[in-house]
């Protein structure tokens, strides 16, 4: 489909959030939402800024966003999926592995996406049918054909530590089956790293739409694959377990995880 706005305008808008994200004082203004679940003045600042700016790009699009989330959207109409800061705990600790992630969804699928990490000045982007890019240059998943030659990334589902046993059983299996494992702390960036070939797979339980929607399109446009643990395509406006890969190791990955309880 033809986008109702230009990608250049969208990229410029996302890049204009940099001063908000890099405000170290605001990053230290923390509110606890729940177990290991935080919001900073940066999260709120980015979201409020984009809430005001996005209607100028696409007046008719709804907004599904992490902070003050409004889950009642009409999926038959266009909508944005926004994570103002993915990797808030990283931001609080100045770990510099945080990003703003935004996807535009219409006709039942994400049509374009941007994931921007200002700490590394890296912008991942994609338009459906036009491939994926990093800072404007095309990217592709790696060609590693099996888990034995792969680097795996996993998420710990930190908001629900009752799942620690199945989470770390998945991590143990990944560790034993691959060259090594990593934990990045930003699911959207983890997906983008698979997209550009820095790793071969990523697994996490119970992600919210804003944790994977933008990265999903970027990964798929880079030649990769993302499903739930049953091999189904996740819904863009509901929580989902996520299994992502370069495509070549996907079935092996699903088999590896298939017998682990949730």
Give the pLDDT confidence score for residue 26 in this predicted structure.
86
Taking the C-alpha atoms of residue 164 and residue 77, their distance in angstroms, rounded to an integer, is 37
Residues of the chain short of pLDDT 50, as ranges, are none
Q: What is the DSSP string of 54-68?
A: HHHH-TT-EEEESTT
Taking the C-alpha atoms of residue 97 and residue 112, their distance in angstroms, rounded to an integer, is 22
Q: In this structure, what are the phi and psi dihedrals at residue 2, rounded to the nearest 5 degrees?
A: -85, 130
Tens of pLDDT, residues 3-29: 999 999 999 999 999 999 999 888 888
Find all residues with CB under 8 Å of 107, minimum gap 6, and list them: 1
Is the Cβ–Cβ distance between 80 and 70 less than 8 Å?
no
Give the pLDDT confidence score for residue 261 in this predicted structure.
66
Give the pLDDT confidence score for residue 36 in this predicted structure.
54
Give the pLDDT confidence score for residue 104 in this predicted structure.
98
Find all residues with CB under 8 Å of 251, minimum gap 6, and list them: none
Quickly tell me which residue has 């592709």 as its tokens: 140
Give the pLDDT confidence score for residue 27 in this predicted structure.
82
């Amino acid at each position: 489909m033809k986008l109702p706005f230009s990608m250049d305008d969208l990229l410029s808008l996302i890049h204009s959030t940099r001063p908000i994200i890099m405000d170290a004082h605001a990053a230290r203004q923390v509110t606890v939402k729940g177990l290991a679940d935080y919001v900073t003045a940066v999260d709120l600042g980015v979201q409020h800024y984009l809430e005001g700016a996005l209607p100028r790009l696409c007046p008719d699009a709804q907004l599904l966003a992490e902070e003050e989330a409004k889950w009642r959207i009409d999926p038959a109409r266009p909508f944005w999926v926004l994570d103002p800061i993915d990797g808030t705990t990283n931001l609080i600790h100045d770990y510099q592995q945080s990003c703003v992630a935004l996807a535009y969804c219409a006709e039942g699928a994400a049509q374009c996406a941007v994931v921007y990490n200002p700490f590394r000045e890296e912008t991942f982007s994609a338009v459906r049918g036009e491939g994926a890019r990093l800072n404007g240059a095309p990217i592709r998943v790696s060609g590693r054909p099996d888990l034995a030659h792969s680097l795996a990334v996993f998420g710990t589902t930190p908001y629900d530590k009752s799942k620690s046993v199945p989470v770390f059983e998945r991590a143990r299996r990944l560790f034993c089956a691959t060259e090594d494992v990593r934990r990045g702390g930003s699911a959207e960036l983890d997906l983008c790293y698979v997209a550009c070939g820095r790793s071969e797979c990523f697994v996490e339980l119970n992600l919210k739409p804003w944790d994977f929607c933008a990265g999903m399109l970027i990964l798929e446009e880079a030649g990769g694959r993302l499903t739930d643990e049953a091999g189904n395509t996740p819904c863009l406006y509901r929580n989902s377990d996520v299994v992502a890969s370069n495509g070549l190791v996907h079935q092996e990955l699903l088999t590896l995880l298939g017998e682990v309880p949730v």
